[in-house]
A and B are shown apart, each in its own frame.
Chain A
Amino acid sequence: MHKDETHQHMHGYGIYILVWFGLLTLTGVTVAVAGINFGALTIATALFIAAVKSYLVLTIFMHLRIEQKAFKIFLLVALFFFVISIVLLFADYSFR
């Protein structure tokens, strides 16, 4: 039914291996900096690196980069729901 649409997925082997190197490097970085105490920034750093790693997995491994726009909007909606819930949750816990 949507023949032409189904075959848009073509990633070579190369880019995957590149991303894999990137992911392993970032893991190394996050372990390395975990020992250093940045105070409140420690957790922020760890989460930032994890977010970058997830971004790589989502866009390349999970092909989100070459999916239709709707898929990207979907993901943003889901993330928005997750993030706003945490924010509202902490509207309670951080002001007690």
Chain B
Amino acid sequence: MNTEEHTVSHVHRDDIGSRMGMWLFLFTELLLFGGMFFLYSVYRFINTEAFHIAAKELNTLIGCFNTAILLTSSLTMALSITAIQKDKKGLSIFFQLLTILMAFGFLVNKYFEWTTKFHHGIYPGSDTLLSMDSGEILFFGLYYVMTGLHGLHVIIGAVLIGIMTRLTAKGVITKDSFVKLESAGLYWHLVDIIWIFLFPLFYLIT
């Protein structure tokens, strides 16, 4: 398999093709979340009032804070690519590590947010939740599923960037060959875009 890699990366190297493949993959991710946005829009349309009431349970401050973290991590991700383009390996690695650190911060916040809800007895199947209006059950169902899947994407993204950091350190990703880092970056920005929509739709509809 190593030799195959050899052929692919040197004989058939096509950075535009690689990015094209990555973008197509991003569309599938986009529509994966898109399906859940369909659900959200229809259920919110049917249960407008219940969604407003349920959203009051969410902590806008944590939401804001996490938005800022993700936006900033997108910045450092983009900067790391510029750094490698300018052949500043150390700087690029620094920015990548910073991105991972912020991903971690985001997850820690999310963890506390979720556990607080659990302490209030709001989790799937709980008595508190089941005693609520059906619109509110749906709101929290969607909240857990959508932020949960998004959180999973944050984890995958962070792992991906971690691999890129290693590859940068080993000199596989260089000034002349950084399409892997770019692809990881594209993935990370997509995670950011999804959050850009999740944030107002869940936290700001009180």
Contacts and interface: CB of A to CB of B under 8 A. Distances in A.
A74 B25 CA distance: 12
Interface string B59-92: 0100010011001101101110110010000000
Contacts of A78: 27, 30-31
Interface residues of B, number: 49
Nearest to A67: B19
For the residues of B in contact with A, the DSSP-based class is helix
A78 B27 CA distance: 6
Nearest to B31: A82
A35 to B, nearest CB: 8
A41 interface: no
B201 A93 contact: no
Contacts of B60: 31
B85 A2 contact: no
B20 interface: yes
Contacts of A58: 189, 193
B49 to A, nearest CB: 14
Contacts of B137: none
A42 to B, nearest CB: 8
B16 A27 contact: no
Contact of B197 (A50, A60, A63, A67): A50
B23 A74 contact: yes
B32 to A, nearest CB: 11
Contacts of A74: 20, 23-24, 27
A15 to B, nearest CB: 9
Contact of A85 (B38, B67, B196): B38
Interface string A48-74: 011001100110111100011011001
A6 to B, nearest CB: 4
A9 B182 CA distance: 10
A20 to B, nearest CB: 4
Nearest to A58: B193
B68 A24 contact: yes
Given A46-B205, A82-B34, 8 more contacts: A1-B13, A1-B14, A2-B16, A11-B82, A16-B75, A20-B75, A47-B197, A85-B34
Interface of A: 1-2, 5-6, 9-13, 16-17, 19-20, 23-24, 27, 30-31, 34, 42-43, 46-47, 49-50, 53-54, 57-58, 60-63, 67-68, 70-71, 74-75, 78, 81-82, 85-86, 89-90, 93-94
30 contacts: A1-B12, A1-B14, A5-B15, A6-B15, A9-B182, A10-B82, A10-B85, A16-B75, A16-B78, A20-B72, A24-B68, A27-B67, A27-B68, A31-B204, A34-B205, A34-B206, A46-B201, A50-B200, A53-B193, A54-B197, A58-B189, A61-B75, A61-B77, A61-B78, A71-B23, A74-B23, A78-B30, A85-B34, A86-B38, A90-B42
